[in-house]
Amino acid sequence: MAIDPQSLGYETPPIEFNYTWRDTVVYALGVGASPEEELDYLYEGRGPKVLPTFCTIPTFAAFDALVDRIGCDRRGMVHHAQQMDVFKPLRPNARLRVTGRVTGLYDLKRMAFSVFEIDAYDEDHDLIIRGEVTLLLRFDGGFGGDRPPKTERVVLPEREPDFETRDLVAPTQALLYRLSGDYNPLHADPDFAIEAGFEKPILHGLCTYGYAGRAVVKGACGGDADKLRTLRGQFSSVVFPGDTLIVRGWNEGERVILGVTTEERPDALCLSNACAAVR
């Protein structure tokens, strides 16, 4: 199957996504929330509150529909980058209407890039979430498309960070996170992971992204999740369950620059070109 250039601009029909507080709590546990510091996200007696990065979960069905439409080879599909924009605080129970669009198809001759934009609307018909997903398609180049535009390079400041968090990623973390809807066997099946070129199952990129979002809420938002408006980053290096994930942040006005590494591989950014916008 080859990339279909005519899929550029395609928009999915509306997809309904319903969730309850149980889903938001399972997600919070999946991205490392602890009862000592984040009980508000884990206990329904306190709402519960909803982590802003939960907004990635309602996008999965539209994402799958868009992947099917562009006609890529899923075996070579790599989640390259992610951006979320949250326009209204997320409720612990909601019925959302989700639509997705193919907004970019770029040709690198041997490989390709695709860009999807996925929106979710709440019961009041307000745009509540926008996600942008960039995929690297390793086996789908040469379809005659344009070259990708240059993207901004986020440079880490040469000073001490304004905040730093360290989280031990539990050996079971990927198995817990996948209960939120990402069932790729790369994150659970040792044999599949070895076939894909890894020594063992790896952590989902969006799980690392959720850890980074939690760090921004604590370090730059004073614990107020509603202040986190935008989070973006590029998935550059692997994280394994059992690693210690380190998130460093530099407050630069309304923007927070992030450096995300592991204790085991301190020189490799696992989330690069990463930054957040806070209200």
Separation CA 126–CA 221 (nearest Å): 24
Catalytic-role residue among 30, 100, 107, 187: 187
The answer on pLDDT for 87 being more than 90 is yes
pLDDT tens across 126-170, in order?
999 999 999 999 899 999 889 998 888 999 999 999 999 999 999
Structure tokens at 165: 């968090």
Domain borders along the chain are 5-137, 163-278
Q: Please, how many CA atoms are within 13 Å of residue 247, restricted to the half-sphere of its CB?
A: 25
pLDDT tens across 12-21, in order?
999 999 999 9
Catalytic-role residue among 100, 145, 205, 233: 205
Is 205 among the catalytic positions?
yes
DSSP 170: P
Q: Is the domain defined by 5-137 classed in CATH 3.10.129.10?
A: yes
pTM for the structure as a whole: 0.95
Catalytic-role residue among 40, 167, 182, 243: 182
pLDDT tier at 279, thresholds 50, 70, 90: confident
Catalytic-role residue among 3, 129, 202, 257: 202
Range 245-268 average pLDDT: 95
Q: Spell out the CATH class of 163-278.
A: alpha beta
Is 131 among the catalytic positions?
no
40, 47 in Cβ contact below 8 A? yes
pLDDT tens across 38-72, in order?
999 999 999 899 999 999 999 999 999 999 999 99
